[in-house]
Amino acid sequence: MDAPSNGRQRLTFGLFEADLSSGELRKRGQRVHLQVQPFQLLSMLLERPGVVVTREEVRRKLWPDGTFVDFDEGLDTALKKLRYALGDSSQNPTYIETIPRRGYRFMLPVTTNNEKAIAAPADVGRGTQTVARPWKLAAGGVGFLLAGAAFWFAKHQLSSLRPPPEMKLRQLTTNSFENPVTTGAISPDGRYLAYIDRKGLYLKLIETGETRAVPQPEEYKDQKVGWESALWFPDSTGFVSNAHRSGTDDTLWNSQESSIWVASVLGGAPRKLRDDAIAWSVSRDGSLISFGTNKGSVGEREIWLMASSGGQARKLFETDEDSSIGTLSWSPDGKRVLYVKSDRSGDTILTRDLKNPPPAALFGPTETKNMNGGLWLTDGRFLYSMSEPKSFIATKCNFWEMRPDGHTGTPIEKPRKLTNWSGFCMSGLSATSDGKRLTFRKWALKATSFLADLAAGGTRLLRPKHFPLSESSDYTVGWTSDSKTIIIVSDRSGPFGIYKQSLDQDIAEPLVTEGYGREPHLTPDGKSIVYLGIGENGPWPAKGPAPVMRVSIDGGASQRLFTADNLGTMSCARSPSDLCVIGEQTEDGKQLVVTAFDPLKGRGPELFRFSVVANDQNWFLDLSPDGTRVAVTRTLESPIYILSLGGQILQQVHIKGWSNLEFFSWAADGKSLFVTARIRNGEELLHVDLQGNAHALWQIPAGGNNAIAYPSPDGRYLAFSGLAINGNMWLMENF
C-alpha cells in the first residue's frame, strides 16, 4: 500500500476512524478487527470518496502481477469482510456503493486528522455548463411567442415527467417484543388507530398520540380474553372486533369459542352482537357485517351476512367438510366480494358478484403460498404483502400491487413490486376512505439469547442477562471446548450465518455468512463446526437433499462432507469420543434412521432405527456428551427415550407434571437434561433429572417459541435462546 500523504494518516467518516499508517480501524475509539486486504480496499476508497475506484485498480493494488489468485472470489471475500466490519449492506449501502461492471464508490464525506475534508471531483454533468447558441432571435415578438409556448409546455407536459412523491413511513405504536401488537386498523377518516396487543384493545388519536384502553366487557371482566381484528364502520364512529375465550393463543381460535363485539370511539365497554362467530369485514356502506361460523376440520365452512345491529342474519356461501372459506371483504364499489377458500391444495383468493354466483380466481395456491394479507383499495388496486421465496423465517417481505377487473374480478395487469425492504414482514392492512393513507403491522421473528450461571446442580439460574447485546436476531447454538466462547447463529450481516463470540468481547467473528441452512454443531475435537447447508429445494423446512458442511472454528472456506435429508437432525459428542450422528426419517416417515458420521471422512455406518409417527416432524434427538447414549422423542407427547448406540431402550424419562416437549439437550455431565416444554402462550425451560423430576428455570416471553438451551462444557453456564415476534403498527403514505 502506498504511503498516505502528510496529514492524512488518520481519516474519519461517520463513527469510524481509519489509521492508514498502522492499518487500524476504530469505531468510537474501540478497535474493529479487519484483515489486511479488506483494510487496503478501505484505504483506496477513503483516499477518493465520491469517486469510482475501478475493479482493475483494486486488482493492481491488492493482487499485483505475479500473484496467483481467483480475483473475483478474492475481491468478493475482501468486500464482504469490509462491509461486515462497517455494518454495511450491499442491498441498502451506507458506506460503499457497488457500481455494476465498474467498481466501487465510498458514499460518506471523509475528513483528515486536521479536520480537512478530502475533496471529491464532481460527477460528469454536475458542474456548470456553457452551451453555445447556434442563433439569436431576431424579433422580440418571436421570443414572446416561444416563451409563452414554453410556459404552456411546462404547465401541461412536464408535470408528467416529475417523479412520484417519495413514500412516507411513520411508526404509530412502540410495543416491545414481550408484548407485541397483534393487529390494528386506521379509521376511514384517518383520525384514529384501533389496535390490539396481548394485554387488550386500544384506541389512539393519531394526531396527538393520546391512547386509551377499551374497557373489558363485564362478561369477561375476570377472564383472559384474546382480541382480534378492528373492522371500522365507514363513518368512523366505531369498529367491530372478535373476542376469543381461549385467550391469546391464536392457534386455538375458531368460531366455536368466539364472539363479535362493537366498540365506540365515544368510550365505554364493547357491546356484543353475536356468539359462536368470527367477524371478517364491514360493507362499504356500513349496513352489513360478514362473519364465519360452523367450524369444520379445516376451518369455518360458512360465510354469513348480518345487519350492523347484529340482526337479520342470512347465509351467503358454504363449502364442504374438506375445505373452508372466510375473510370476506368488499370491492371498492361494493358490488363484488373477495374471500379465501382453503383445501388440501392451499389457499385460493376468489371474487364473486353477489348477483352472479360463479366465482373468479384472483390468486391461486401457488401465488398465495407466501402472501401475508391484502387489501382492495378504493382506487381499484389490490395491494398485498409477499414474503420472498427463500426468506428464512419470514425476514423479508415487500408490498406488491395488481389491478382486478371491477366487473369480472379477474386480473387485468401483472403484479408489480412496490417496495424493496428486508428484515421484516407486513400484515393487517387497512386504509383510509380516500385511499391516501395505509396502516400495516410491521413484524419480525427475532431470536433473543441469554446467558446465566448454573447453580444447585443445574436446577437454578443466577444472574441471567442478554448475550450477545445486538439489534440483530442472535440464536446461541453451542460452545467452544474451553467454555469461553459461544457459537451463534445471527442475521447481523443480512442472511443468517454462523458466528462465534467470546464471553469477554462485544464483537462476534463471522465463520459462515453464505449458504448456511441450520443444525450447527461443534465437532468432538473442537476444531470445526458441522452444519446443514441450503438444500436443493431451498432452506429448511423444504423437503429434499441438503449438503452436510464443515468449517474450521477459525473460519475460512467450508467443505462439503456428504448429502443428507434437509429435515434431518445432527448431534456430536465431546472428546475423547469422536462420534457424531444424524437422524433422518425413512421415505414412508415411519422410522428414524440414526447414522454415525466422521467430521473429516463423512457418512459412516447405520447405528439403529427407531419407530416414529409418520408425517410427524416433532421428533428430536441429542447425543450424550460421552457419545455412549442417544436421547430421542417420537412426538411432543411422548417420553424421552434413552437408547444405546445399538438402539436398545435403556430408560424412559416421563417428566412429572409436564407434557408437550419440544427440544432438549444433555447437561454437561450427562446425568440430566435441559428440556423445553410448550405451555399456553409460550414455552418453559426445565431442568430434568433422569428420574423425571423437573425444575422450571425460565419462561419464554408470551408468544415465544423454539427455545433451546446449551450448557457450557465445564457445566458453569447455560446459554439459551428463544424466538419472539416483535410487532408494531406503521402508517404509509404516497404509495
DSSP per residue, 167-211: PEEEE-----TTS-EEEEEE-TTSSEEEEEETTEEEEEETTT--E
Please, are residues 632 and 571 in contact by the beta-carbon 8 Å criterion?
no
Hey, what CATH topology would domain 445-727 get? Neuraminidase (2.120.10)
Burial call 438-459: b when 16+ CB within 10 Å, e when fewer: bbbbbbbbbbbbbbbebeeebb
The CB-side HSE value for 361 (13 A sphere, CA atoms) comes to 10
* Domain boundary assignment for the chain: 10-112, 167-330, 332-432, 445-727
Helix and strand counts by DSSP (H, E) for the chain: 5, 54
Question: Which residue, among 251, 230, 310, 234, has the nearest Cα to 277 in the 3D structure?
Answer: 310
Rounded to an integer, what distance in angstroms lies between the CA atom of residue 89 and that of residue 74?
Answer: 19
What does the alpha-carbon distance between residue 375 and residue 384 come to, in Å, rounded to a whole number?
6
Question: Could you tell me the pTM of the whole model?
Answer: 0.65
Alpha-carbon dihedral angle through residues 40, 46, 48, 51, given to the nearest 10 degrees: 100
Grid coordinates of 607: 447405528
Enumerate the β-bridge partners of residue 502: 485
584: three-class secondary structure by DSSP: strand
Predicted pLDDT of residue 319: 95
Which residue blocks in 478-579 are alpha helix, DSSP H? none
| Residues 213-246: b if buried by 16+ CB within 10 A, e if exposed | ebebbeebeeeebbbbbbbbbeebebbbbbbbbb
Length of the chain: 735
The kind and range of the H/E element at 387 are: strand 382-387
pLDDT of 141 reads: 36
SS3 254: coil
Q: For 486, how many CA atoms within 13 A lie in the half-sphere containing its CB?
A: 29
The 10 Å CB-count burial string (b at 16+, else e) for 389-413 is eebbbbbbbbbbbbbbeeeebebee
| Cβ contact 697:686 at 8 Å | yes
| Domain 10-112, CATH number (from 1.10.8.640, 3.40.50.720, 3.40.50.2300, 1.10.10.10) | 1.10.10.10
C-alpha torsion sign, points 708, 712, 716, 721: negative
> How many Å apart are CA 50 and CA 34, to the nearest integer?
22
Alpha-carbon span 592 to 294, nearest angstrom: 39
Give the Cα separation of 578 and 132 in Å (integer): 81
Q: Which residues of the chain have pLDDT under 50?
A: 1-7, 68, 120-162
Task: Find all residues with CB under 8 Å of 563, minimum gap 6, and list them.
Answer: 545, 546, 547, 548
Predicted confidence at residue 122, as pLDDT, reads 38
Q: Return the CATH fold of 167-330.
A: Methylamine Dehydrogenase; Chain H (2.130.10)
Helix (H, G, I), strand (E, B) or coil at 37: helix
| Separation of alpha carbons 26 and 588, rounded Å | 56
Do 10-112 and 445-727 show the same overall fold? no
Asked if 401 contacts 415 with a C-beta cutoff of 8 angstroms, the reply is yes
220 Cβ contact list (under 8 Å, min separation 6): 243, 245
Sign of the Cα torsion 110, 116, 118, 124 reads: positive
CA angle 58, 59, 65 (to 5 degrees): 140
Q: Which three cell numbers stand for residue 382?
A: 389490490
Give the pLDDT score at 55. 87
Place of cell 445432527: 570
730-265-305 Cα angle (round to 5): 85
Residue 592 CA to residue 583 CA, distance in Å, equals 6
Give the residue among 697, 725, 728 at the shortest CA–CA distance from 711: 697
